[in-house]
Amino acid sequence: MSVDMNMNVLIVDDYKTMLRIIENLLKQLGFKNVHQATDGGMALRMLREQAFGLVISDWNMQPMTGLQLLKEVRTDDRLKSMPFIMVTAESKTENVVAAKEAGVNNYIVKPFNAETLKQKIASVLGAF
């Protein structure tokens, strides 16, 4: 199974520079339809209005954290199987455990490059 490079990918981060960096990395990898949300509430609305193939969300956001967003997605029948990758600046074990328990598909620690992003996406969606 190959990854659909035309699928919608949603990046969620309250830091606009990080949104731009991740979008550029995704475009380098060949993804064509990259969308942005600046907070968890906005992301949830977008996910409920449009079909996405992948969510890449920052952990540390206000007012809804990435972990809260993940939990909301996992309790929504239409969204619960959505591939979800969490991005964080901290690799604390308890964070990794909390994200895994909440149903995250994978985890990226900042800073990261296109190759790391590609490996994490491949582990969730399959090789591309």
Tell me if 40 is assigned to some domain: yes
Q: Is 60 exceeded by the pLDDT of residue 111?
A: yes
Whether the Cβ atoms of residue 10 and residue 51 lie closer than 8 Å to each other: no
Tell me if 106 is assigned to some domain: yes
Q: What is the CATH number of the domain that holds 38?
A: 3.40.50.2300
pLDDT score for 2: 76
Distance CA 107, CA 128 (A): 19
Q: Which residue range(s) make up the domain with 54?
A: 8-123
Return the number of other C-beta atoms located less than 10 Å from residue 123's C-beta. Answer: 12
Read off the tokens for 47: 């996910």
pLDDT digits (tens, 9 = 90+) for 18-70: 999 999 999 999 999 999 999 999 999 999 999 999 999 999 999 999 999 99
Number of domains composing the chain: 1
pTM, rounded to two decimals: 0.96
Tell me if 3 is assigned to some domain: no
Residue 51: burial class (beta carbons within 10 Å; 0-12, 13-18, 19+): exposed
